[in-house]
Amino acid sequence: MRAVIQRVSEASVTIDAHVKSKIGVGLMILLGIEDADTREDIDWLCRKISNMRIFPDEDGVMNKSLLDINGDALVVSQFTLHASTKKGNRPSYIQAAKPDIAIPLYEAFVDELSTNIGKRVETGEFGADMKVALVNDGPVTILVDTKNKQ
């Protein structure tokens, strides 16, 4: 499971000219799922994201977590995070999980993150053509892969 985590002052997802989801200060999370991902990956990644200290404290030091600031979260499925670019110029997405595996894991991730932060997590729509808008604050962008826990 891979996640691109961006600290944002605001973010939204628009589908067919309709704003589906919108958040204020918090995290925009692009989530890539592969066949090998498990419930253990979900639990570890949700804990990591909820507690990651990337928000400024009173002295401007990144020392506060999403929990500390009671921030929002927006999660968007992003199969292209598992793109392989080793051969040729057309990325291969063979490592990305197919919908029958990815959708239940995506939904479980959203539910677990919501439980961890104690509030509703906004989402995109799995498989939809989405327009994602955000204001990256900092900018702060972090890549986390559950296959590289050590």
List, by residue number, the catalytic residues. Answer: 80
**Burial degree of 122 (CB within 10 A; 0-12, 13-18, 19+):** buried
Q: What angle do CA 20, 52, 139 make, to 5 degrees?
A: 65
**What single DSSP character describes residue 16?**
T
